[in-house]
Structure formats: C-alpha cells, structure tokens
Amino acid sequence: MRRWHRFAIPLGVVALVFAVTGVAYSVNEPDPSDPEFLSPISVDGIGGQRLAQALADRGVRVERETRTPDALVSANQGDATLFVPVPRVVHPDYLAMLRLLPPSTRIVLVDPARQALDDASIPLALVGRRWAARAVAPDCAVDEARAAGPAAALRQRYKGDGVHCYDAGVVRVSWQRADLIVIGASDPFRNDRIGEHGNAALATGLLATRPRVVWLDLHKLEPPPGVVDEPGSSDGVPPSLGEDPRDGEYTEDGGEGTPGEEGDGSGSDSQAGEGSRDSPSASDVDSENPLWNAFPPWFWALLIQLALAAVLLALWRARRLGPPVTEPLPVTVRAAETVHGRGRLYRRAKARGPTADLLRAAARDRLTQLLAPTAGASLVDAAAAAARWDPEQIEGLLDGPTPESDDDLRRLQSDLDALVEAIRRAR
C-alpha cells in the first residue's frame, strides 16, 4: 500500500496541475464565435467598446457592419480601414474580394487562420504559435508600431513578404491594391487588455490612419455571395468591386467571369473557380499531416508535458536519491532460512566471486577477534604463528584468486573453517 501511495500521489499531483492549467487556459481563452468578441458595442472583457471609443475620441468614425457584403461596399468607397476581427467566419469568396479594394483602403485582419490566408491569396504563412500573447518591442519601420512601443502583439508568427514587426507577430503587406495589416494576437484590441503596455496606442494607430473604420462585427459563418441569408432581403452580394487580377470580375449576380463577360453564378467557369478556391491542392494535402490539425495546439503541448512528467517519474523510480529506509518485516524469518535463501540466490547467479569475498571477510573478522594482532604485526603473520601454518598458504586463503568452480568454493570454505578452528584450539 505504501509503495502504491509513493507512485500514485506524485502522479496525481502532476495530473492535477496540468488539468487546472488546461481548464484555466480554456476559461480565459476568448471564443471568436462569442457575439461579444471584439464587438464595438460590447463592454465585456473580450469586447472592443474601449477601442471604438478611443477611435471616436481621435475623430475617426466607426461604422459597424454585421454582414460582409455591406462592409465591402462601404470599404470600396475608399478612405477607410476595413477591420476584420474574425476572418475565419468570412466566406472564402468574400475573402478573395479583398484584393479588389482601392489603394486608399487599409485592411486589418486579426489572427487569420491558414485557410483564410489561402482563400484570400495573401502571401503569408503561419510559422509558430505561442501559448499566450507576449509583449515585445516592434523593431520595425512601421510608424504606428514605433509610436506604440512594446505591445502584446506576439502570439501567432507569420513569414512571407512584407514588413515584420513584433518578432513577426504583425506584418504589413503591400498586397494587390490595398494596404494590408495582419496581426496574430487579439489582446491589443480587447477591453481587458487594451490598457496594458502599448496596446492602446498600437490598436488605435493601426485603425486611425483613415477617417473611417468599417468594423465587421461578424461571429458566425455566412452564406456565399448570391445567397440571401435574411428573409425579405435581396441584397446577397456587394456590387462589382472591379476587375479581379486573378480570376476576372465579380458581378452583381455574385458570379465570376472574365472581363467583358457576364456571369450568372451557375456556369461551369463559376463552379470551377469556386471549387479551386475551396479545395486544397494536392501539395497542401501531402505536406500537411491531418492528425496535427485534428487537435488544438494546447492539446499537443499538454501531451508533451505529460510525456516529460512520465519520463521524470520513471527516472525517479529507477534509482533512489537518498539512503535506503528500513521497514519492518511483515513476518519474522529465521536466520537459517535467510542464509539458505541467500545461498541459493548466489548459486543460481553463479556469483562465486562475491561469495568468496563474503567468506574471506567473515574469516578475517573471526581471526581478528581471536588474535588481536599488535600494530606492528599483520594478520597473516599472527595467524601463521598461532596455527603454525605456512604464511603463504594463509595469504592464499585470505587473498587468493576467485574460485573457478563450486568444488573450489567449497574447498575454500573448508580451509577457512579449518584455519579458524586451529587458531581457536591454539588460543
């Protein structure tokens, strides 16, 4: 029972620490599907009302839109910043339209996933994600970042063309015709984090470069262009945003065609174009392990920590770090049984060397007690004088070679007993 406690209690404490850490992380981690998440009208901790008020204090007009078509129409008028707090819920067709916004429009995407970057054809890739956002220095030439100073913008890192700030947590890309800002952390925009470090200066600086901010307050998946998601509404797609440099022109019907041709959204070209955007390429499927994306990053971090804890526990159990501790025997064992048991173990292991050492050590102890040699005389000389044996014979018995067979070992034991008995009779 005590051994079971020594194993179960440390393992239980480690498991409890990991469980509490995981639960606390899940509770504190904001849910982008929550309607309060980075909403300009939300006063919740994960909301964005404080940021909207800071923008209003700087004379920037905040236009809240709950549908992507309306946000694209407003941003297409120019001199605006399109703020997309949750890019993952935007339909891929609308993400592809971002490239058609005018040069006077800035786009700010918060923590876009890999699929969102691919759907929008943004030349960036994800290279690493932290457990939580970290405040670091900007170390870049972007004016808004330099004015803000250190901010909690480092969580998701990106690689690719553009100006990298905050250790690749913020990237500014001159993408197509629009000015694009990608930031891998939501902390600078949230009510409960905007007052920390330089978060407020960074968030307002990124969004206040234009007189208007088109704030897309969207938290659920939306239908594709041309599909009406609200009863009684006929506006399911924004008007044409111009010519798409990659695929052609998006028309008022939501279809996709080449310049000079009308698209009705039902032709084979439209279906092929939609399929090419929604379906990953063969190289993406081959280069990415589906098991890695099947679980969130915190699961793999927890699994690695549990594996390390198991290794440390195995090392701790493999060797004691302190002296042996005596424990009371459950039953009393006779000395003769103990001697016979140890003898059988030595015989089974063919440990003739250790057995001979034990026999010689016991003989030395008995000779020392019988002779008590003076400081100037050795044990061998004193034993030879008392037993009248040859000193070389006694030295061979006490310090000779290891017996090579069981018969040699029995002969050594008999000779040692005879020597001790001879000295006992002489004394």
Q: Does one domain contain both 88 and 215? A: yes
Q: Does one domain contain both 212 and 358? A: no
Bridge partners of 158?
126
The per-residue pLDDT string of the chain (427 residues; one tens digit each, 9 = 90 and over) reads 456 666 677 777 777 777 777 666 666 677 888 889 999 999 998 999 999 999 999 999 999 999 999 999 999 998 999 999 999 999 999 998 988 899 899 999 999 999 999 988 898 999 988 888 889 999 998 899 999 999 999 999 999 988 999 999 999 988 777 789 999 999 999 998 999 999 999 999 999 999 999 999 998 888 888 644 444 444 444 544 544 444 444 443 333 433 333 333 333 333 333 333 343 333 343 345 556 666 677 777 888 888 888 888 777 766 655 666 777 777 777 888 888 888 888 888 888 888 999 899 999 899 888 887 655 568 888 888 888 888 888 888 888 898 889 888 899 999 999 998 988 888 7
Residue 11 covered by a domain: no
Q: What is the spatial distance between Cα 216 and Cα 94, in angstroms, rounded to a whole number?
A: 12
Residue 365 covered by a domain: yes
Nearest to 245 by CA among 103, 96, 108, 104: 96
Which residues are CB-contacts of 266 (< 8 A; sequence separation ≥ 6)?
255
| Boundary of a domain, candidates 174, 192, 225 | 225
Determine the pLDDT at residue 373.
63
Determine the pLDDT at residue 245.
40
| Boundary of a domain, candidates 225, 242, 275 | 225
Residue 283 covered by a domain: no
Q: Which two tokens stand for residue 305?
A: 């920590």
The beta strand positions in 55-211, using DSSP E, are: 61-65, 80-84, 105-110, 124-136, 151-160, 163-165, 170-175, 178-183
Residue 340: CB atoms within 10 Å: 11
Q: Does one domain contain both 345 and 218? A: no
Q: Taking the mean position of all CA atoms in its chain, how far away is CA 162?
A: 27
State the burial class of residue 211 (Cβ atoms within 10 Å of its Cβ: 0-12, 13-18, 19+). exposed
* Claim: this prediction has a pTM higher than 0.75: no
- The boundaries of the domain holding residue 371 are 335-426
Q: Which two tokens stand for residue 402?
A: 């290891």
Determine the pLDDT at residue 54.
94
Residue 106 covered by a domain: yes
Domain count, the chain: 2
Residue 135 covered by a domain: yes
The one-character DSSP state at 403 is P
Determine the pLDDT at residue 217.
93
Domain containing residue 90: CATH number: 3.40.50
| Boundary of a domain, candidates 167, 198, 225 | 225
